[in-house]
């Protein structure tokens, strides 16, 4: 009689996966362990079907935007709202190329990169009727640079002077050549606010935001909704079809999906892969998706004691004191398994801040998860195990899954991770003030590599929540600013990314995709690489309500 063959025990990583999935439950995202990732088809950024005039479009956001003030704002969901009401000097197109928006053409650069001249479009008015001219743009740029608490000040630091040359020409003087400038003027640093509203409302501008856009601000109920109404003064008003756009805050993706199916909302922003799979099977829904410029990761606090941007201090925790402990934490994380369990295999593992497929990205040799090496590093560092780590996660289901997966993986390497679920806006305050040990990070990304690095890794960066201060990093950041040659600049960013990775302050895990679900009676939406939902030409299809 042939002896019965016993099944082989699962590998340690597979065992962890099974334990995590059992804890999360079958509906929480583990189906991809037993089935291939959902097929979303080719990239789809727009729906060109004709639409009728009229109606209200309701968009559900993943979190509540922070201040509706381009100078002070720092959230991705806030950028989505701004895209409908606060246009910029420049924008990006479907090919991730920078194009003029309020400017009439791309800028002219002279004096070896130290003088930038921008010509503006003519005949444009703000929502309050004030003309947009060079003096108005000068007012906004100077406010971005000087207002207390500005998150734009660091971005525009090399700009030493702004001059209005007549009504339609602006001249910027720079202390040095500054290659990222154009990409920043295609983001919040390039948003122009009504000088009349700035004077009238002062530090209350966020409650009365007044810009140029297809829609103008009407009201906000914090934590619930933001209401915009079509602006008849908008220079391109003939292309705007909707009467109103309402942005609702619905943090739970399952609830966003339920509201889509019921028709209470028409668009769901930042849908996570679990809901994307469901959207593909619902006959009344459609999916927009594009490659993201951003990343998911973890930030470890090694020196943020007085708030982001302030000089770093000393934090007396093992993970802050010793880079070997941070490297061990990094080595405990299996990026491919995180992608499979948390994100249904629909994203891409990464270990750097520059997105795959962009000009400055490089094939990164990401370290494989190695719990045994991690434990050796902890022994070398002389720390007691398990090393205690408090991980702040947002209260979204996706972040909760990520936190639980990290918790299970890190345990195998000698860490005891305690999860600290925190509402998004509160978590952002904790991160800014340094009131955390470790926190999940979700960055929507920027076109220029400086936009994914400087504020997070440079000494004094406005979003350097981990408090990293490294002279080599700072020198390479400065070199990247002033070097225009593509090959030379690519080499600089390869060295910069490698240096940042060696510090293990931000642990890059996943490069996501932008997923937006909408009801099929909506057309004219655009979802480009920056992930923003553009509603300028959106509306209800002809024949629908």
Where exactly does CATH 3.90.76.10 map onto the chain? 87-202
Domain 43-70+213-292+514-545 CATH class label: alpha beta
Res. 1 pLDDT band, cuts 50 70 90: very low
Number of H helices, E strands in the chain: 16, 23
CATH superfamily of 295-511: Dipeptide-binding Protein; Domain 3 (3.10.105.10)
Beta strands in 151-292 (DSSP E): 159-164, 169-174, 215-221, 225-230, 244-249, 267-268, 285-291
Instruction: Report pLDDT digits (tens) over 364-388.
Output: 678 899 999 999 999 999 999 999 9
Residue 36: its pLDDT value, please? Answer: 39
Residue 4: its pLDDT value, please? Answer: 43
Distances (CA, A) of 341 to 25, 153, 253, 275: 11, 39, 17, 14
Residue 33: its pLDDT value, please? Answer: 45
* CB contact at 8 A, 139 and 198: yes
Residue 360: its pLDDT value, please? Answer: 87
| pLDDT at residue 7 greater than cutoff 50 | no
DSSP SS3 for 402: helix
- Joined together, the tokens standing for residue 450 give 């400086």
Res. 40 pLDDT band, cuts 50 70 90: confident
- Mean pLDDT, all residues of the chain: 91
Mean per-residue pLDDT, 193-220:
97
Mean per-residue pLDDT, 292-304:
95
| pLDDT at residue 217 greater than cutoff 90 | yes
Instruction: Report pLDDT digits (tens) over 223-243.
Output: 999 999 999 999 999 999 999
Residue 274: its pLDDT value, please? Answer: 83
Could you give the CA distance from residue 194 to residue 135 in angstroms, rounded to a whole number? 10
As a whole-number percent, the residues of the chain with pLDDT over 90 amount to 80
* Gyration radius of the chain's alpha carbons: 24
Where exactly does CATH 3.10.105.10 map onto the chain? 295-511
Instruction: Report pLDDT digits (tens) over 177-206.
Output: 999 999 999 999 999 999 999 999 999 999
Could you give the CA distance from residue 235 to residue 233 in angstroms, rounded to a whole number? 6
| pLDDT at residue 345 greater than cutoff 50 | yes
| pLDDT at residue 398 greater than cutoff 90 | no
What is the CATH code of the structural domain delimited by 87-202?
3.90.76.10
Residue 402: its pLDDT value, please? Answer: 96
* Residue that wins the pLDDT comparison between 273 and 297: 297
Mean per-residue pLDDT, 80-97:
95
Could you give the CA distance from residue 279 to residue 286 in angstroms, rounded to a whole number? 7
| pLDDT at residue 28 greater than cutoff 80 | no
Res. 425 pLDDT band, cuts 50 70 90: confident
Where exactly does CATH 3.40.190.10 map onto the chain? 43-70+213-292+514-545
């Amino acid at each position: 009689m042939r002896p019965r063959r016993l099944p082989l025990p699962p590998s340690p990583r597979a065992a962890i996966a099974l334990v995590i999935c059992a804890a999360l439950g079958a509906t929480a995202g583990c189906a991809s362990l037993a089935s291939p990732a959902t097929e979303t088809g080719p990239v789809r950024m727009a729906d060109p079907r004709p639409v009728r005039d009229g109606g209200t479009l309701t968009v559900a956001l993943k979190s509540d935007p922070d201040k509706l003030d381009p100078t002070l704002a720092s959230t991705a969901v806030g950028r989505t709202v701004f895209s409908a009401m606060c246009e910029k000097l420049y924008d990006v197109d479907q090919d991730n190329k920078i194009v003029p928006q309020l400017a009439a053409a791309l800028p002219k650069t002279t004096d070896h990169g130290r003088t930038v001249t921008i010509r503006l479009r003519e005949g444009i008015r703000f929502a309050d009727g004030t003309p947009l001219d060079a003096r108005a743009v000068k007012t906004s740029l100077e406010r971005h640079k000087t207002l207390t608490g500005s998150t734009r000040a660091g971005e525009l630091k090399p700009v030493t002077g702004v001059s209005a040359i007549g009504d339609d020409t602006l001249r910027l003087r720079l202390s040095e050549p500054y290659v990222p400038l154009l990409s920043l003027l295609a983001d919040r640093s390039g948003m122009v606010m009504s000088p009349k509203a700035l004077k009238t409302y002062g530090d209350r501008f966020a409650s009365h935001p007044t810009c140029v856009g297809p829609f103008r601000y009407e009201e906000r109920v914090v934590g619930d909704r933001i209401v915009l109404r079509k602006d008849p003064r908008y220079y391109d008003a003939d292309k705007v079809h909707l009467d109103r756009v309402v942005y609702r805050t619905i943090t739970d993706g399952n609830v966003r999906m339920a509201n889509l199916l019921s028709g209470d909302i028409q668009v769901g922003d930042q849908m996570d892969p679990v809901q994307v799979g469901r959207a593909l099977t619902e006959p009344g829904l459609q999916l927009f998706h594009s490659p993201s410029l951003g990343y998911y990761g973890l930030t470890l606090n090694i020196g943020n004691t007085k708030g982001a941007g302030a000089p770093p201090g000393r934090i007396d925790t093992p993970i802050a004191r010793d880079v070997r402990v941070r490297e061990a934490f990094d080595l405990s994380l299996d990026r491919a398994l995180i992608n499979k369990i948390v994100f249904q295999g629909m994203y891409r593992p990464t270990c750097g801040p520059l997105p795959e497929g962009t000009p400055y990205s490089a094939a990164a040799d990401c370290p494989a998860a190695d719990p045994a090496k991690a434990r050796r590093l902890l022994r070398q560092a002389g720390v007691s195990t398990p090393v205690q780590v408090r991980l702040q996660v947002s209260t979204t289901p996706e972040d909760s899954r990520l936190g639980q997966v990290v918790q299970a993986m890190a345990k195998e390497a000698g860490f005891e991770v305690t999860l600290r679920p925190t509402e998004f806006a509160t978590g952002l305050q904790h991160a800014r003030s340094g009131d955390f040990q470790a926190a999940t990070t979700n960055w929507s990304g920027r076109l220029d590599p400086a936009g994914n690095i400087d504020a997070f890794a440079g000494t004094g960066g406005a979003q350097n929540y981990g408090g990293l201060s490294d002279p080599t990093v700072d020198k390479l950041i400065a070199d990247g600013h002033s070097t225009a040659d593509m090959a030379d600049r690519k080499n600089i960013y390869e060295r910069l990314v490698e240096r940042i990775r060696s510090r293990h302050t931000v642990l890059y895990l996943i490069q996501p995709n932008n997923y937006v679900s909408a009801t099929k009676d909506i057309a004219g939406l655009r979802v480009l690489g920056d992930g923003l939902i553009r509603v300028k030409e959106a509306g209800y299809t002809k024949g629908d309500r």
